[in-house]
Amino acid sequence: MTAMFPLTNARLQVLVAIKQAGEADVQHLAAELHLTLSALRPQLLQLQAKGLISYRLEGTGPGRRRHVYRLTQEGEAMFPDNSRVQLSELVPLVENAVPGLMESWFKDRLERLWAEDARRVRDDSTEAKVEAGVTGALSRGYIGTTDRDGDDIVLRVAHCPLLALSSAWPRACALELESMRKNLKSEHVERTAWKLDGDPVCEFRVPAAVRSARAASRNGYHLVGARG
């Protein structure tokens, strides 16, 4: 990792924690880094003064609003990826030379990776498939989290090693979503945030209703309107 600004180890850890989360408030960072709020706040102020992070205010009503931090463009540059320029030139050349080659290659790649991840699946549940997929993604350089929103599964990807390719060829993201729907056997999987739209993370949601329908089907029942 190279740096435009000299950073202490403590500030670098804060920067990495924000990168991993996509966005994070003070309480989250303090818990993640095992720091007190009084120890953390000066680090955030220094990173902000260097232009590496910014914040937005979240919350309404009485009381203090939360400061939610994210990396600036300068902060993102601390995690360099020099392939974007080359890919922006290469992708059109490949597409023009052999139409459909990029899509065929990327579809085959996704199916191969799903097949590799399937060997880690503990059972046929959607939860097990998501867990195996996340484990595989982490081994391939992704950084993200898996959370619950009620009974829904929510995947948040803070760092995508294919972001440079996707920036040059957004079709990759569409194919990735199609592959998730196919392999999780659900057309209801949604992408609810997208880095290419300027969001701090890519976010995917697997609705509970879909997973319940699959479970009912395995038990010999069928829910009207449900697919998979």
Checking if the pLDDT of 21 tops 50, the result is: yes
Among 8-12, 27-31, 56-60, 219-223, which range has the highest average pLDDT? 27-31
Under a CB-based contact definition with an 8 Å cutoff, are residues 227 and 213 in contact? Answer: yes
> 1 lies in a domain?
no
Cα separation of 5 and 51, whole Å?
10
124 confidence band (pLDDT: 50, 70, 90): confident
Same domain, 45 and 104: no
Q: What is the mean pLDDT of residues 16-45?
A: 93
Assess whether pLDDT exceeds 80 at residue 80: no
Are residue 36 and residue 129 in the same domain, yes or no? Answer: no
Angle (nearest 5°) at CA 31 between 26 and 33: 95
- pLDDT above 80 for 149: yes
pTM for the predicted model, two decimal places: 0.64
pLDDT > 90 fraction of the chain, expressed in percent and rounded:
53
Q: What is the mean pLDDT of residues 69-85?
A: 83
Q: Tell whether 145 is covered by a domain.
A: yes
Predicted local confidence at residue 131, as pLDDT: 87
- Parallel/antiparallel/unpaired status of strands 152-159 and 66-71: unpaired
What pLDDT sits at residue 83?
A: 76
- Crossing angle of helices 83-97 and 101-118, in 10° steps, is 120
> What residues make up the domain containing 164?
83-218
Domain boundary among 20, 46, 76: 76
pLDDT of residue 221: 29
Which amino acid would we find at residue 4? Answer: M
d(CA 25, CA 125): 33
| CATH number for the domain harbouring residue 47 | 1.10.10.10
- Let me know how many helices (H) and strands (E) the chain has, helices first: 10, 7
Number of domains the chain contains: 2
Give all strands (DSSP E) within the chain, no chain letters. Answer: 24-25, 53-58, 66-71, 143-149, 152-159, 190-193, 202-206
Please tell me the distance from the alpha carbon of residue 122 to that of residue 132, in angstroms, as a whole number. 8
Q: Show Cβ contacts of residue 24 under 8 Å, excluding neighbours closer than 6 positions.
A: 17, 18, 32, 68, 69, 70
Q: pLDDT (tens digit, 9 = 90+) per residue, 48-71? A: 999 999 999 987 767 778 999 999
The label of the residue with tokens 């982490």 reads 138
- How much is the pLDDT for 53? 95
pLDDT surpasses 60 at 227:
no
Residues 98 and 184 in one domain: yes
Residue 101 CB neighbour total at 10 angstroms: 11
Q: Is the same domain home to 113 and 31?
A: no
Residue whose pair of structure tokens reads 């403590």 in the numeric block: 10
Mean of pLDDT over the chain: 84
**3-class SS string, 25-41:** EHHHHHHHHCCCHHHHH
